[in-house]
Amino acid sequence: MQFLDERTFEGNVLSQLDEAMAFITRNTRQAIVITGRPEREIVPEYPSEAVREAIINAICHRDYAATGTVQVRVYDDRLEVWNPGTLPPGITIEDLYKEHSSHPRNPRLAAALHRARLIEHWGTGTLRIVQACEDRRMPRPEFITQGRSFIVRFTRAPAEVQIPAEARVSDRQRKALEYVREHGRITTSIYSSITGVSIAQSKRDLGFLVANGLLQPQGKGRAACYVRQSPNRLMNPEPIVARLCADSGPFYTYPTAYQTGSGD
């Protein structure tokens, strides 16, 4: 497989986890929701708590005797977390969607992550991943075994119009957003036609939607129109990949420091 871009992260558990999450933020879409407060609410394309949990699980349960690394693969329509190793005996894919027993492959590492409060309760990580996706009304995450690898796959939710919760967005502006969702673009004249307002008012209404990050202008002159806010990465079937490297044993750096600093 060819990758559009690739990054390798080294260091201790926390630094790799933070760098992986920052990598995902840079390479996925971020929605803007107007709440009426001075600051806007940023909603990530994939629930951060679910992705973070998947990466922690990959670090904790990977097979460190196997070649390969934990990988985060960002595609245009999905995000995947890969780790070397398969499910422990007695645990099936179906078990991951319900309460199940925990069988840490690396018990000392799992204990350290638990002490660091990166793991809350044994055997509940996959349930939290599922719940976080359900809370966002996203497709159910997939748990997959492929060869000697285990994969958590998040599928991007179908495109929807993110309408601000604030009442300043008028009914006609909502109608325009729905029109763009269905047709891909809208012009000032089309807006005027479907809403019944003047061209001047149409420009003001559309300008408001642009200013609040819901639409963006495209083209000039007769070709001028408004489209949905574009994603922050280019469309490409090849993934962008982050690798979390364990070649120098960095996963024991943080747990040791944590236990020393805890006073235990």
Residue 88 belongs to a domain: yes
- Minimum mean pLDDT range among 88-97, 175-184, 250-259: 250-259
* Cβ–Cβ < 8 Å for 142, 155: yes
Res. 24: pLDDT tops 60: yes
Half-sphere exposure of residue 39: CA atoms within 13 angstroms, side-chain side = 3
Q: Is residue 251 part of a domain?
A: yes
Does the pLDDT of residue 263 top 60, yes or no? no
Q: What is the pLDDT of residues 162-218, one digit of tens each?
A: 554 443 678 899 899 889 888 889 999 999 999 999 999 999 999 988 887 788 898
Structural domain tally of the chain? 1
Most confident of the ranges 102-106, 192-196, 244-248: 192-196
Range of the domain at 141: 5-159+243-261
Asked if residue 258 lies in contact with residue 112, where contact means CB atoms within 8 angstroms, the answer is: yes
End-to-end CA distance of the chain: 46
Residue 66 gets the label, from left (phi > 0), alpha (psi -120 to 50) or beta, of: beta
Q: Give the mean pLDDT of the chain.
A: 80
**From CA 75, how far away is CA 79, in angstroms rounded?**
6
Q: What is the DSSP string of 153-190?
A: EEEPPPP-----SSTTS-HHHHHHHHHHHHHS-B-HHH
d(CA 100, CA 33): 37
Phi, psi for 127 (deg, rounded to 5): -65, -40
More confident of the two residues 218 and 31: 218
- Is 237 domain-assigned? no
- Judge whether 215 lies within some domain: no
For residue 80, what pLDDT band results from cuts at 50, 70 and 90?
very high
The answer to whether residue 185 is domain-embedded is no
Does the pLDDT at position 254 exceed 70?
Answer: no
Residue 168 belongs to a domain:
no
pTM exceeds cut of 0.85: no
